[in-house]
Structure 1
Amino acid sequence: MNDSRQTFSKQWMWISFGVFIVTELVLGALVGGLVVGKFMSLSLRFMLQGLLNLLAYLIGGFIIGLISPGIRIYEPAAGAFLSVLVMLVLTLFTPFSFIHFSLTKVLIGGGIAFFLALTGAKIGERMAGNKVG
């Protein structure tokens, strides 16, 4: 068992950021293959997209917990918060009035993503044989 606590790694935070994007793309391709061309309401499509987004944070955190050296649980959590922040900053460039930036969205969405990635990373670290709290 490895119980080596390490200092926060910005590199692993950015790696996590990328893993979340790739994970969501893979999940989207898998689920998209099942639902493309099928009838579904706009609301159901929006809900599926949101669930895939949330699942990507959990699975991405798990992947980082599993493959990272030592114990890395805060890096994927910070990377998840950062990815929500980046996504919401990009809304500044959209012409749609219903998609807008707000600090409340950053804090709530970022907090949810942080928690999911943290949980996934802890599970991944445990699967890797590391002792985490």
Structure 2
Amino acid sequence: MRTTIVVCFLALVAFAAARPEKYTDRFDNVNVQEVLSNRRLLSAYILCALDKGKCTNEGRELKSHIKDALENNCENCTDKQRRGARTVIAHLINHEKGFWADLTAKYDPEHKYVVKYEQELTEIKKE
């Protein structure tokens, strides 16, 4: 009986360790539209992500997940983060081409993610 309990416990621990965790939703209340409409705020977040400026707690959290989110199609993002990412990408592609180029150069220098998500990016650009 003890062996069964131990095996079940170990299986539960292994399952919990193997399932991907979502990124923290602690900053999901950030108003993305407000940031995008305020050039000073947007610049601060972009400069943080590019390691060219100071970072707020929100900026550090965002920056720590950019590469992983690109690599796994935002698999660990909350729904709100996924929607926010689409909104931000659309804004950068359509209104901030310089920032978009800088971020792409830093986080996707080989353009493998831009190519991977080309269809989605094209759809976003049309929004």
**TM range, smaller chain:** under 0.3
With a CA cutoff of 8 Å and minimum separation of 6, indicate the structure with the bigger relative contact order.
Answer: 1
Q: Give the TM-score, by structure 1 length.
A: 0.26
